[in-house]
Structure 1
Amino acid sequence: MNCNTCGAQIPEGSQVCPNCGNPVTPVVNATPVQQTPVNNGQPMGAPVDGSAFNYVPQQEPLGMKWANFLGYFVLWVGALINLVSGIAFLTGSVYSTVGVSAEDVYSYFSALKPIDTIAGVLTLGTAVVGVMAAISIIKRKANAGKLVCALYALNFALSLIYALLVTVMTSIPGFTSSTIIQLLVSVVMFFVNRYYFNNRANVFVN
């Protein structure tokens, strides 16, 4: 055997090298460990069950641009418009846009005043619903879609009933072009948002 330090030949079993005087560390013959090659976590040659080759594609997250557009802009603007409209109905200033005073209108059509008052209160209510819907979208609440759909359903019902009452009580056509456009927009927005939020029920869960 050889000394670990100076490399000199020394007798077998020596604990100290007679040449350099350093302790001799016995050399242990290490037996190589045979390793089994693996493939995808399974030993080579083992039966392949196919699980190593199964690929599950990651589902892309659904777009939230429309929800953010509603929650941060559209519903707030709509709530502001409904707030102004509600006040206009309650104060009678809604008729100033056509150059007629509320006193003149109510003197001819006295039944319009309570109708305008009710319409004003309900319009203010839709403004509140719009704010609630916007906050629910921002906070990803589970009832966000229901509130949005309820808002447009209320807008549709309020516009339709008011136009019918005006037509019946005053013989003045209540279904103006702006009223018809508002009704169509409410219907479209109702179904679009119903479909949109139903497909994102796993996002609005708070």
Structure 2
Amino acid sequence: MSQEYNTAPNATLPMGWHKFLIYFSLWASALFCVVTGIMTFSGSHYGGYAQEMYAIFGGMRAVDIAFGLIWIAIGAYAVLTRFALARFRKGASQKLTVLYGANVAANVLYMILASSVIGVSLWGEMDGSSYSSLAVSIVMIFVNRAYYAKRASMFAE
């Protein structure tokens, strides 16, 4: 069974953003998600205080294990999305939207669950970069949808 790949048609639209996504951004995102997943799964994101954290807030261990696996899955999905975009597969831009949406949803859900286990709202404990990261992910959903909507004809099967 041979696999055929779509190649970029002679496009008149610039593809710089597309190339940035497939050659750097999605690989970096995958690496970041996998590293975050491993750190969350192992508890090492507590900086050596995982045992103390889990002794006080036992439910955090289950949350961290679940979200460690979720982050690793999101990292794998980033690689899958990268190859779909690089091969101009139909539905590739939707995969990118799902990827950004999953990133936002996982961050928000982790904060909600961690807050409920700890009993204190962690939203006030987030620094500006955490809020910025969420905002950027949300904005990127709309930016990428607009970008790829103009290039939809390039992604036909």
CA RMSD of aligned residues (A): 1.3
Alpha-carbon separation, structure 1, partners of 2:156 and 2:122:
41
- Kept in 2: contact 1:68–1:137 (CA 8 A): no
Alignment deviations for residues 80-135 of structure 1 (CA, whole Å, 9 cap, x no partner): 00010000011110111xxx411000000001000011101110111011001111
**2:97 corresponds to which residue?**
149
**2:8 corresponds to which residue?**
none
**2:115 corresponds to which residue?**
167
Q: Which moved more, 1:79-88 or 1:130-139?
A: 130-139
Alpha-carbon separation, structure 1, partners of 2:23 and 2:76:
15
**Structure with the largest fraction of helix:** 2
Please tell me whether residue 124 in structure 1 is matched to residue 72 in structure 2.
yes
Specify the code of the residue in structure 1 equivalent to 2:18. A
Alpha-carbon separation, structure 1, partners of 2:77 and 2:15:
21
Compute the displacement of 1:165 (Å): 1.5
Alignment counterpart, residue 197 of structure 1, candidates 145, 148, 154: 148
Alpha-carbon separation, structure 2, partners of 1:198 and 1:129:
21
Specify the code of the residue in structure 1 equivalent to 2:98. A
Alignment counterpart, residue 81 of structure 1, candidates 6, 9, 32: 32
Specify the code of the residue in structure 2 equivalent to 1:171. G
Alpha-carbon separation, structure 2, partners of 1:143 and 1:69:
19
- TM-score, with normalisation over the residues of structure 2? 0.87
- Kept in 2: contact 1:79–1:131 (CA 8 A): yes
Compute the displacement of 1:66 (Å): 0.5
Compute the displacement of 1:64 (Å): 0.8
Alpha-carbon separation, structure 2, partners of 1:94 and 1:142:
38
Specify the code of the residue in structure 2 equivalent to 1:66. W
Specify the code of the residue in structure 2 equivalent to 1:120. G
The percentage of aligned residue pairs carrying the same residue is 31
